A and B are shown apart, each in its own frame.
Chain A
Amino acid sequence: EVQLEESGGGLVQPGGSLRLSCSASGFTFGTYAMHWVRQAPGKGLEYVSAITTNGYTTDYADSVKGRFTISRDNSKNTLYLQMSGLRPDDSAIYYCVRDFWGMEVWGQGTTVTVSS
């Protein structure tokens, strides 16, 4: 069974940092591009970032560019999102998503709260 399990969320102060992880199982992780998508409380879905299979090419939403870094370790079947300079409007559920003709498989999400 294809599974994506996010972790690393929590409460962090404004200006702080956090690293999210997404552990993949049930498929050959290294053959799929991956995304991070977030959803603020009561709001819609917002694309955050994407990374190609080999990690050489990445993309970011303007709202996180320069503050977030996506990466992956195919030997560990794990996707990462390093977040720094966190702001209250970064508070959201962060989903890890497998790409196949778009955003095919979603994890359950991990919650990030940025507050003092």
Chain B
Amino acid sequence: DVVMTQSPLSLPVTLGQPASISCRSSQSLVYSDGNTYLNWFQQRPGQSPRRLIYKVSNRDSGVPDRFSGSGSGTDFTLKISRVEAEDVGVYYCMQGTHWPRRFGQGTKVEIK
């Protein structure tokens, strides 16, 4: 099975400052169709997860443009250009290339 490893697991940030979360997979996430199925999710306290990014760098509808995804192969990054109070929560990466699907451990973003 593919293992997804996120870092850091805890990320204290200052409002208005950038934040970055890393996600690494134990195998390449490039599928036979040439696409890379790497998703990023946000889970605010007490809420269901919400997808932010699909196929590495595509923002879902309604997601603020301060969120961006990048990477390739086995190394991926979620960046928040300027953290706002509503961004507090846990962020997960997930690979959708191989079966079974796997999530990273989650990164807790909090305000300093």
Contact = CB atoms under 8 A, between A and B. Distances in A.
A95 interface: yes
B60 A45 contact: no
Contacts, number: 63
Nearest to A104: B51
A6 to B, nearest CB: 10
Interface in A31-85: 35, 37, 44-47, 50, 59-62
A25 interface: no
B108 to A, nearest CB: 10
A102 B92 contact: no
A103 B48 contact: no
B41 A59 contact: no
A104 B60 contact: yes
Interface string B82-104: 00000000101010100111111
Interface residues of B, number: 25
Interface string A78-116: 000000000000000001000011111111110000000
A47 B39 CA distance: 13
Contacts of B51: 102-106
B54 A106 contact: no
B103 A59 contact: no
A44 B106 contact: yes
A35 B39 CA distance: 15
Interface of B: 1, 37, 39, 41, 43, 48-51, 54-55, 58, 60, 90, 92, 94, 96, 99-106
Given A50-B99, A107-B48, 5 more contacts: A37-B49, A45-B41, A60-B100, A101-B37, A104-B51
